[in-house]
Structure 1
Amino acid sequence: MYAGVDKYGGAVVGEGQPDGSAPAAGSAATGLSLEEAVETAAAEETVVVDVPYSYYEDDADESSLVTGTSQVLLTAQLNPEAGGLMWVEQESSQDAYKNVVAMSQMTSMLRDLDRNRCYELGIKGAIERFVARHKRAPIVLDIGTGTGLLSMFAATHGAEHVYACEMFKPMADIAENVTKANHPDKITVFALRSTDLIVASEESGGVGHLPRRADMLVSELFDSILLGEAVIPVVRHAIEHLLVPDAAILPERATVFAHVVQNEQIYRLNSVSGQFLNDQQAQLARNDAAWECTGGKPALPLHYRALEPQSTPLTNVTPVLSFDFTKPIASATTYEETVVNAVASGDVHAVVMWWEVSFGDDAESSIVYSTKPGAQNWQDHWVPVVFPLTEHVHVDASDAVVLRTHHDDLHIWFDVELQQEPQTQLSSPSKKKMKQQQVQREKMPCTCGLHLQRKTDRQQDNEDLACLDISDGSLCALLAASQGVANVTSVESKDVSARIFQQILDNQPTASETQVEVLCCGCKGLLPDHLQGGKPVDLLLGEPFYYSMQNLPLWQAFNFWLRRSAVAPTLAPNALVLPARARVCALAVRFEHLHECFGAVGDVSGYDHSYFDQFQESYYTRNFPFPVYMYPYEAVSGVLTLAKCEYQSVAESVFTELTTELPQEPNGVIVWVEYALDAEEKHVVATGPAAIHSKQLVRFLAPSAATTAGQNATKVSLQSRFHFNALEGTIDVDFAIV
């Protein structure tokens, strides 16, 4: 149910997914090394780091040496002196984990009434069938228990005992307390991966977590792409090591559905092929092969209905994969071909998929949960997945189209081609299943390097001058070089990115006319001598964009200001900074559904979740990153200005307060940044709610006292407070309804 991560932020780094391998000795999940954590973590993540220790119990006795490792939790903040991130130890691990739980999709899942109903009816029916067949109650195993909801369903409907496991220890603690409050004697929770569970046997000396193999497995190890939470290897391991032969497994089956669409917006989420950046034909490619890179077949979970009006379906929806979880699924990369007729003419830009799972012995009586748009109540934890394709396939209506669906233990991906041999029009889709090795259709790796460095929502967006680009991605440096700027230096935070963009810049038509260098370094301590041309900088550039802050637009804006301050010694007296300024904007809104995905849940299917609700206390103080265009809302204010950054000057603290009267009470505020490229603000780059290629911050609002008391307030005001502390590198945003 919960893996310690969520779609948009607040993740825990250092606690990985189970791989379904042979059972390991029982041990807690280990964290990352400090070097690995700093290199890979994003700013919004909480990092678990292993710190080795050693000491002598008796200084006079060398044999008394004690060694081990302890886990330290780190959180990020902006470095006020140099820009970039610095990692500080979290004083309270409880507060850190509360933040992770509050920002997860757990509330959304618990409030999914259709999901809860399907699981309860499926578990109830399976236990009834087991009792009728075996004349006794089953032992039930619940893997990935979350708050313990499925375990409580099983206990309520007649399980002899339920053994539940949860790899994320804070979540396991929640499950233990929630299940004790509702079924104190019938559920045992282990803070372990299922692969660490041991069944008591002669080999184990009669010691184990389970007294015997379980008769039934219940689990909900699905993400939007179905397989990403390791359901296949986890169930395979359970069948081999934890379950009796012919055990009941819920859900029993899953089916993946897909169709092919034309949508230029989706296509450009993953491809810069054939796109010049300006009239000088600057290419975001390091060679000809990179110019045609297919990007490693990304999977993008989206509320597809937001993009549906601009899409043309080229085929009908058809089932493309099916899984029977009651039998071990081999660990192999395979694919299935489904041949369908095109229903319209157009260019193949993407495949859209969703899935359904079923509970029950036969198709007629089975209970089905589907992630098809509109099939269930609105929710945000499982959404359709879009796969942008870049193979340049054009189809005409009635063409036979081969939709090839690949999968391994954790991934699904697609490719599409026209059927080569002539064939009469199909009355229904035809299918065949093949081993992956028969056709070289592996998930192609990225060849351009950009897809390794940038998320998909980032793919779009004179003679003696010296230019310095202090954003990651070197796009501004590329544009400056294409305009003939003589000396261009770009600073990258990652070594691999520096190498890729050096190759891209060297591959440009103007490469022979421009001196370009990409440095992998920080900004503090840079001097003109370190830069291309060895002279002061006339033009300082930035998008701003930083790999580690992709989900935090406010951090990116103020990080650019701090980095601009750090490189002040490199600037010429009249240097121009682009963008010239930034404006932090806010919009008070009433979300239709999004606000329902977080916060306290109270009672879930009749079970008290008050202990879980204690972890939601920070819900209204957290900034959630969302691509807001996918979530319907009604604006109840105009655009508010919370703060301004004057990039022509060094960073300084900013503090603002304002009160805005509103016609009705909002349940959220959307926050974003606008960049004025010039001092006159003739050219402004907006990253607001209508932008598909940007995320915004969402702050949910607690109901007013009047609303809580069931009254209609005659006057509603929004109090906004913004504080950037340039000395500490901290950003605080607060909103309240009065």
Structure 2
Amino acid sequence: MLSLFLEPRLLPNRLLSLCSLFTILKNPSSFQFKSRAVRNMSSDSAQRMFQLKLDPLTGNSEWVVIEENQTPEEKTKEPLLATTSYLDMLNDSHRNRAFRQAIDKTITKPCHVLDIGAGTGLLSMMAARAMGLDDSSTSYCPKGKVTACESYLPMVKLMRKVLRANGMDKKVRVINKRSDELEVGIDMSSRADVLVSEILDSELLGEGLIPTLQHAHDNLLVENPQTVPYRATTYGQLVESPYLRKLHDLINNEAKALDGIYLVPNGVHSILQIKEQQFAMHCDAMKEEFKLLSEPFKVFDFEFWKRPESNRKTEVCIKATNDGTIHAIVSWWLLQLDNEGTIFYCTGPKWISDQSKSFFPGMGNWCDHWKQCIWFLPEKGMTVCKHQEVFVGARHTKTSISYRVKTSLEKEDGGHCDPSPGDNQIFLTPEQIAIYGDCNWRLSMFNVIKNALKQKVSPMCIVVDDSLFLPIAIASLSKSAHVIALFPGLREKGTHYLQAVASSNLYSMDRLEVLRTRNQQLTMEDTHQTKVGLFVGEPFYYGNENVLPWRNLRFWKERTMLDSVLSKDVLIVPCKGILRACAMSLPDFWRSHRCLQEIEGFDHSVANSTLGACGDLPADEEGPCLPFPIWQCGESKRLSDTVSIMEFDFLKPISSCAGTAQVEFTESGICHGFVLWIDWMMDSSTELSTGPDKRYWKQAVKLLNKPVAAGSQGLTLADCSSIEIKASFDPSSGDLNIKYVFF
């Protein structure tokens, strides 16, 4: 359930415009909050809260009003902010300590402090305490004041609870506005002397750091203010990585498939690709697969204490340290929190602290709210020799940083020069690009479709999801089949795409169509009075990548809704889904999602239920399941074999189902939770897994309230030999209810 606030001024420009709101209403699954970018939403106390309630099994949505006087049972069951990174951020002790030290060092006398994007109010409380405004202090500074600006109303409400719990509600003035809506003389009595703020994402600029600082320096801060942080510096490093190449080079990877299907034919390469941007990833998880081709190099400095420029360019000349192929640039940032340069926080990968020629202070523990970033070079990358000069050009806008690489002043990383596809370009996630370029996945899908078509003569086929591979495969393999692609997320873009690649795949568009409107379930008129003989999906729903695995059971719901147009002997691909699980040790992930207690002397326990904390909960409370790729969870270890909990039979209409499995621990360790996923039976002999050993899919992580010692540990915790997992599926909501007991 997505929560937004509607007002006469519409929604804030930092989150979405009127046009994008219309897009969300048409296709809500495409809307995803970016980390903590929800902070600068604009609202006021008189507004009503609206939540966009999404049915994961149909893709339909409706706005529901959440009134102030509703009971908890009447509100959403899911914690309002559980899918944001606030909890992980507040559990980052290294970050919290660095900010506290810098604030104590910077704020040494009564002054006016402005906190932009205040969140739970942690930095505001630190500033108030530094001036002696907290009740525990023996002195009081009447000239000191703290203004906390937070635009997201649910967070404002949570902040007020935290402030009250710490006796700070009278010491910090909370303003529920966007920072660029603040006015001195109305919202603030005077310009602020000190700015404390943390509106940084993994790329540094994605949460609007530059425009926020520009407006603050122009309108809200005194001349030459003090700031925490003081400066940020971005760094990069050239790497070779075959895995990273798989995430973007569909052109060359699909050439190895030899199945005769061309998702990116010559002349239209750019119609299907990833966005030209940096992608946040935990690079330490790929350390053994990386070949470092350069030393770390500095790219940009960003000064918080003065007004930043909107756009800058730079070029760095570096020497390759190894022979190899540059597939990507790994980037990170170093935060200097005080003006003297003694307090730092770094988001770099661990390997940089091991390099004798590079020293980056402020390296912390594993956390997910800040990762490293990956910038992909086009296609095969760029070959370099040891000691060869490489020129890295970088440019930043107000919200992003981009790169270009060349080995001489004349030669730049080129890529292809296709005609511009314009608005018809389709951007997929790197993981989906990798799936479409995976030879084993393609071969499995190709053979399943080929075998299915052998059983049908001139079939009517429906591709129910947003698969681009399946309609082309069917149309290429059968010259008599008629294919209807529903494309619930891609819509018109899907039509233009199929037209663009038709000649290269040797099919004509008179046998392949996309339904342009679908206001109700299909009828025989839509299928040209022909019963559907082949009903298929990957399943893959465009814009629906960051969801729990069972949300793709939308395929089952679609099959049920279209039952009236299916033939009695219809072939359904996949024919079955299997819910599987295994127990795991996930110390980093559990720590980052555990309940909050005291943070640098401030009680945050009142925030746990709202933020969706998973560990250290009361016995009668359960944390949510979180969609997450296990290989990106930090330290991990399997403690059991894989078990099957229950099956979903797609040959029959959707129905409630349940299952139980006993998970026997096969390894000793501390169990922090278990992982669930769905494996798809495409036919009776072909199974496609999305489990923890598969990098291209997200699994569901169910963290325990308390870690449990599995096997013989010799610890104070009670040893357990097994765990019983019970799961039940509710077809009316698409929810999976999970219970577990240790033995």
Q: TM-score, normalised by structure 2?
A: 0.81
2:688 equivalent in structure 1: 685
2:588 equivalent in structure 1: 593
The reply to whether residue 417 of structure 1 matches residue 420 of structure 2 is no
* Residue 625 of structure 1: how far off its partner (Å): 1.0
2:294 equivalent in structure 1: 315
Compared CA separation, residues 497 and 237, structure 1 to 2 (3 A): same
1:456 equivalent in structure 2: 430
Matches within 5 A, 1:233-272: 233-272=211-250
Q: Distance in 1 between matches of 2:651 and 2:211?
A: 55
The reply to whether residue 84 of structure 1 matches residue 79 of structure 2 is no
1:530 equivalent in structure 2: 526
Compared CA separation, residues 70 and 188, structure 1 to 2 (3 A): closer
Q: What amino acid is the match of 1:559?
A: R
Q: What amino acid is the match of 2:468?
A: S
Compared CA separation, residues 294 and 464, structure 1 to 2 (3 A): closer
Unaligned runs of 5+ in 1: 1-9, 21-27, 49-67, 132-136, 201-207, 423-438
**Matched-pair contact (CA < 8 Å) for 1:141–1:162:** yes
Compared CA separation, residues 265 and 523, structure 1 to 2 (3 A): farther
The reply to whether residue 474 of structure 1 matches residue 462 of structure 2 is no
**Matched-pair contact (CA < 8 Å) for 1:472–1:493:** yes
2:198 equivalent in structure 1: 220
- Which of 187, 190, 198 is equivalent to 2:183? 198
* Residue 670 of structure 1: how far off its partner (Å): 0.9
SS in 2 for 1:551: coil
**Matched-pair contact (CA < 8 Å) for 2:54–2:62:** yes
**Matched-pair contact (CA < 8 Å) for 2:5–2:11:** no
2:677 equivalent in structure 1: 672
2:313 equivalent in structure 1: 335
- Give a deviation string over 1:74-118, Cα, whole Å, max 9, x none: 222245xxx433446365777449713233222222222221222
The reply to whether residue 42 of structure 1 matches residue 29 of structure 2 is yes
Q: What amino acid is the match of 2:717?
A: N
Compared CA separation, residues 646 and 234, structure 1 to 2 (3 A): same
Q: Distance in 2 between matches of 1:228 and 1:460?
A: 25
The reply to whether residue 109 of structure 1 matches residue 89 of structure 2 is yes
Q: Distance in 1 between matches of 2:48 and 2:23?
A: 16
Compared CA separation, residues 735 and 551, structure 1 to 2 (3 A): farther
Q: Distance in 2 between matches of 1:33 and 1:413?
A: 24
The reply to whether residue 390 of structure 1 matches residue 353 of structure 2 is no
Q: Distance in 2 between matches of 1:233 and 1:262?
A: 34
- Which of 357, 370, 384 is equivalent to 2:335? 357
Compared CA separation, residues 614 and 460, structure 1 to 2 (3 A): closer
The farther-off stretch of 585-594 and 184-193 is 184-193
Q: Distance in 1 between matches of 2:125 and 2:47?
A: 36
Q: Distance in 2 between matches of 1:173 and 1:319?
A: 40
Compared CA separation, residues 472 and 699, structure 1 to 2 (3 A): same
Matches within 5 A, 1:272-283: 272-276=250-254, 278-283=257-262
**Matched-pair contact (CA < 8 Å) for 2:240–2:325:** yes
The reply to whether residue 121 of structure 1 matches residue 105 of structure 2 is no
The reply to whether residue 162 of structure 1 matches residue 137 of structure 2 is no
* Residue 304 of structure 1: how far off its partner (Å): 0.3
* Residue 521 of structure 1: how far off its partner (Å): 4.5
Q: What amino acid is the match of 1:115?
A: R
The reply to whether residue 719 of structure 1 matches residue 724 of structure 2 is yes
Q: Distance in 2 between matches of 1:306 and 1:368?
A: 24
SS in 2 for 1:675: strand
**Matched-pair contact (CA < 8 Å) for 1:453–1:497:** no
SS in 2 for 1:500: helix
1:148 equivalent in structure 2: 121
* Residue 230 of structure 1: how far off its partner (Å): 0.8
SS in 1 for 2:252: coil
Compared CA separation, residues 100 and 351, structure 1 to 2 (3 A): farther
The aligned length equals 661
1:543 equivalent in structure 2: 538
* Residue 355 of structure 1: how far off its partner (Å): 0.1
**Matched-pair contact (CA < 8 Å) for 2:274–2:429:** no
* Residue 684 of structure 1: how far off its partner (Å): 1.4
SS in 1 for 2:254: coil
Q: What amino acid is the match of 1:479?
A: A
Compared CA separation, residues 268 and 511, structure 1 to 2 (3 A): same
Q: How large is the Cα RMSD of the aligned pairs?
A: 3.5
Q: What amino acid is the match of 2:495?
A: R
* Residue 189 of structure 1: how far off its partner (Å): 1.4
Q: Distance in 2 between matches of 1:88 and 1:731?
A: 23
Q: Distance in 1 between matches of 2:271 and 2:384?
A: 20
Q: What amino acid is the match of 1:120?
A: R
* Residue 319 of structure 1: how far off its partner (Å): 0.5
**Matched-pair contact (CA < 8 Å) for 1:498–1:520:** no
Compared CA separation, residues 359 and 86, structure 1 to 2 (3 A): closer
Compared CA separation, residues 519 and 86, structure 1 to 2 (3 A): same
Q: Distance in 2 between matches of 1:280 and 1:345?
A: 33
**Matched-pair contact (CA < 8 Å) for 1:303–1:384:** yes
**Matched-pair contact (CA < 8 Å) for 1:473–1:497:** no
Compared CA separation, residues 169 and 390, structure 1 to 2 (3 A): same
1:694 equivalent in structure 2: 697
Compared CA separation, residues 449 and 275, structure 1 to 2 (3 A): farther
1:432 equivalent in structure 2: none
Q: Distance in 1 between matches of 2:16 and 2:160?
A: 19
* Residue 724 of structure 1: how far off its partner (Å): 2.0
**Matched-pair contact (CA < 8 Å) for 2:49–2:67:** no
- Give a deviation string over 1:319-359, Cα, whole Å, max 9, x none: 01111121211223x32111111122222211110001112
Compared CA separation, residues 92 and 735, structure 1 to 2 (3 A): farther
Q: What amino acid is the match of 1:157?
A: A
1:179 equivalent in structure 2: 163
- Give a deviation string over 1:559-585, Cα, whole Å, max 9, x none: 111111222233333222112211111
SS in 1 for 2:187: coil
* Residue 718 of structure 1: how far off its partner (Å): 2.5
**Matched-pair contact (CA < 8 Å) for 1:271–1:293:** no
Compared CA separation, residues 420 and 660, structure 1 to 2 (3 A): closer
Q: Distance in 2 between matches of 1:98 and 1:489?
A: 36
- Give a deviation string over 1:18-49, Cα, whole Å, max 9, x none: 769xxxxxxx999999744323422896999x
1:508 equivalent in structure 2: 504
Q: Distance in 2 between matches of 1:552 and 1:246?
A: 45
Q: Distance in 1 between matches of 2:259 and 2:629?
A: 32
Unaligned runs of 5+ in 2: 39-45, 133-143, 351-362, 436-452, 615-621
